[in-house]
Chain A
Amino acid sequence: MKIRQISVFLENRKGRLYEVCSLLGQAGINIRALTIAETESFGVLRMVVNKPDEAISLFRKHNITANLTDVVAVEVPDRPGGLAEVLKVLSDGNINVEYMYAFVEKFSEKALLVFRFDDPSGAHRVLTSAGVTVLTEKDLPNL
């Protein structure tokens, strides 16, 4: 039910994001979803890639500070109010969302979102019992 997200520590330096992304590109690793959380002096790049194990060892080799975090990929109806419906399910189930972001491309009629919950198992239970589809890494085509 969980998929692995890669978090990369980025200091605020011109060209650093490019360096990280181009490393992935050269290794043939595809970014499927990403977001950047930033503060005044540093940022954290979060992404879902098609080969997380390869990406992590690549970063370690290049002395880039990175780590794997479990997140949940959730299908959301691609229409006005679709995301709100899913968020209501979570809210009613007393599940806290730490952050979320969207996949770059669509794999079906539905939009695909990445959620980080403080209680991933609880979130999974609440979502599936409400009929919301939660995907695993195997479920994701081309991942």
Chain B
Amino acid sequence: MEIRYWNQRLETLPRHELRQLQLERLREVVGYALQTPFYKKRLPKVGISSPEDIRSLDDLKKIPFTVKDDLRQAFPKGLLAVDMEKVVRIHSSSGTTGIPTVIYYTADDLDRWTDLLARSIVATGAGPGDVFQNMMSYGLFTGGLGVHYGAERVGMAVIPVGGGNTQRQLQIMRDFRTTVLHITPSYLLHIHQRMPEFGLTPADLNLKKAWMGAEPHSENTRLKLQELFGIDIYNSYGLSEMNGPGVAFECVYKNDLHVWEDGYIIEIIDPRTGEPVEDGQEGEVVFTNLIRHALPLLRYRTRDLAFLHPDPCPCGRTARRMSRITGRTDDMLIINGVNVFPSQIEEVLMSIPEVGTNYQIHLSRHEGLDRLTVKVEIYSKLFTGDLAALEALKNKINEKLRASITINSRIELHEPGSLPAIEGKAKRVVDEREKL
């Protein structure tokens, strides 16, 4: 198999040199972290008042974990380590309790992030001559822009189409002879199901590869999609707290994802005790970002579950491989690639007077796409007998939900007392989607 590197020296750096590089970069980001109100308070308590207090990588363990809620508490500038004048990009996500989280990047941060994406892309064998159709959302979501710039750096022809509009996507694939896609597994499946409608088969297209991310999926889903399209599909992993995509990526061997350890220190911990698990054991993934200076994050708990492969990969890269995500330690839902917490939905519902206290979140899959149905009980005293008012209420709930979670839902109105009651740990989320 042909192995191509973007930066062969760094990608094949012997482990001891890699650790030395990690140590140098950790000292550097600790220096930046000490500029932030958040870590300025937190780090001296564990004996770290300057970068020199990090003597070895083991000292990382002294640093307490950072969690999502810390980012919310620190909103908007508690974790900003540089002058706003140095910031050239801001990404943000809606919060579970209405408080958003924000990530800042300097020009150099973007440069380093883009480089890891270029590395990821080349590891899958893609490069100049490829026509790349980026079907991930652009905007505040890091998935679209992150891969976009990486692909440009590599020299691919980038089509920044973004998500949605299947007919147009297929037309672009045909007109521009697209060779590489960046897409969620559910959308790729949906595309396949819609092709006959437009008189197309995969043979009419020129697709060679797809990078698949933003949604957990099984090996069987990959194999099925590879067979349906006759292409190679590579698993992609990232999160905006660690810049975005390009934290870990599969190489041509497609045998789980190389974590770019010169950019991110990975730890796998027992989510209950916080202690490291043995190599090969599943646990919660914890990352320290070594390459972002505007907003440093040390030992960030991702809530994703995965394990590390102890054995090296035949591709020669020394970056260890992480398994695909096997689950979550919290109740986050991934709906058509969008992260949604049930608490966000509850927050919206409880702000609407016509809605009673009981509700249920129902997830199903239709033609490869997720469908979110929110069942709510109406509040008796506000029932007027007017059908139009009830329809208006449904629209109002959907609009308010969309403002918070960015996706459309189907609203079902129910009689008071008909949904499982709040007492006795009612099952709020019913997920009937078959596992991808």
Using CB atoms and an 8 Å cutoff, list the residues of chain A in contact with chain B.
Answer: 5, 7, 9-11, 13, 16, 37, 39, 41-42, 44, 46, 63-69
Asked if A39 and B380 sit within 8 Å, CB to CB, the answer is: no
Known: A9-B415, A11-B414. A67 touches B383 (CB 8 A): yes
Q: A residues within 8 A CB of B416?
A: 63, 65
Asked if B387 and A37 sit within 8 Å, CB to CB, the answer is: yes
Which A-chain residue is minimally distant from B389 (CB atoms)?
Answer: A44
- Pick from A5, A64, A67: contact of B415, CB below 8 A: A64
- Pick from A13, A44, A63, A64: contact of B387, CB below 8 A: A44
Asked if B380 and A42 sit within 8 Å, CB to CB, the answer is: no
Residue contacts A-B, CB under 8 angstroms, 16 given: A11-B412, A11-B413, A11-B418, A13-B418, A42-B412, A42-B413, A42-B414, A63-B415, A63-B417, A64-B415, A65-B378, A65-B416, A67-B384, A67-B385, A68-B385, A69-B385
CA distance A46 to B390 in the complex (A): 15
Tell me how many residue pairs across A and B have CB atoms closer than 8 Å. Answer: 51
Asked if A9 and B378 sit within 8 Å, CB to CB, the answer is: yes
Binary A-proximity of B357-394 (CB < 8 A = 1, otherwise 0): 00000000000000000000010100111110011000
Q: B residues within 8 A CB of A42?
A: 390, 412-414
Q: A residues within 8 A CB of B383?
A: 7, 9, 65-67
Using CB atoms and an 8 Å cutoff, list the residues of chain B in contact with chain A.
Answer: 378, 380, 383-387, 390-391, 412-418
**Chain B nearest CB, measured from A44 CB (Å):** 5
Q: B residues within 8 A CB of A68?
A: 385
**Chain B nearest CB, measured from A7 CB (Å):** 3
A contact patch SS: strand
**Chain B nearest CB, measured from A67 CB (Å):** 5
CA distance A22 to B249 in the complex (A): 63
Known: A42-B412, A42-B414. 11 other contacts (CB 8 A): A9-B378, A11-B418, A39-B387, A42-B413, A44-B385, A63-B417, A65-B380, A65-B415, A66-B385, A67-B385, A69-B386
Asked if B378 and A69 sit within 8 Å, CB to CB, the answer is: no
CA distance A64 to B390 in the complex (A): 16
Q: B residues within 8 A CB of A66?
A: 383, 385
Q: B residues within 8 A CB of A16?
A: 415
Q: A residues within 8 A CB of B378?
A: 9, 65
Give the top 10 A-B pairs by smallest Cβ distance, nearest first: A7-B385, A65-B380, A69-B385, A41-B412, A67-B385, A11-B414, A65-B383, A37-B387, A42-B413, A11-B415
**Chain B nearest CB, measured from A132 CB (Å):** 25
Asked if A41 and B387 sit within 8 Å, CB to CB, the answer is: no
CA distance A41 to B415 in the complex (A): 11
Q: B residues within 8 A CB of A64?
A: 415
CA distance A39 to B390 in the complex (A): 10
| A10, A11, A65: most-surrounded residue (chain B CB, <10 A) | A65
**Chain A nearest CB, measured from B377 CB (Å):** 9
Q: A residues within 8 A CB of B390?
A: 9, 39, 42, 44
CA distance A7 to B383 in the complex (A): 9
Q: B residues within 8 A CB of A11?
A: 412-415, 418
**Chain A nearest CB, measured from B121 CB (Å):** 45
Which B-chain residue is minimally distant from A45 (CB atoms)?
Answer: B385
**Chain B nearest CB, measured from A49 CB (Å):** 14
CA distance A63 to B379 in the complex (A): 11
